[in-house]
Amino acid sequence: MAESWQITCSCKINSSDAYERIERLGGPDGEGWTLHRDAIVTEIKKGNSFWVDVHGDRVDVIIVSHSGREFIKTRSDGDSPNNLLNLPECVE
In a domain, residue 29? The reply is: yes
In a domain, residue 79? The reply is: no
Sheet of 9-14, strands arranged across: 9-14, 20-26, 34-36
What confidence tier does 69 reach under pLDDT thresholds 50, 70, 90? confident
Position 76 scores a pLDDT of 76
In a domain, residue 38? The reply is: yes
Report the SS3 class of residue 42. Answer: helix
* Domain count of the fold of the chain: 1
**Does the structure show a pLDDT above 60 at 31?**
yes
In a domain, residue 91? The reply is: no
Position 21 scores a pLDDT of 80
Smallest Cα–Cα separation from 60: which of 3, 19, 4, 20? 4
What confidence tier does 8 reach under pLDDT thresholds 50, 70, 90? very high
Position 48 scores a pLDDT of 96
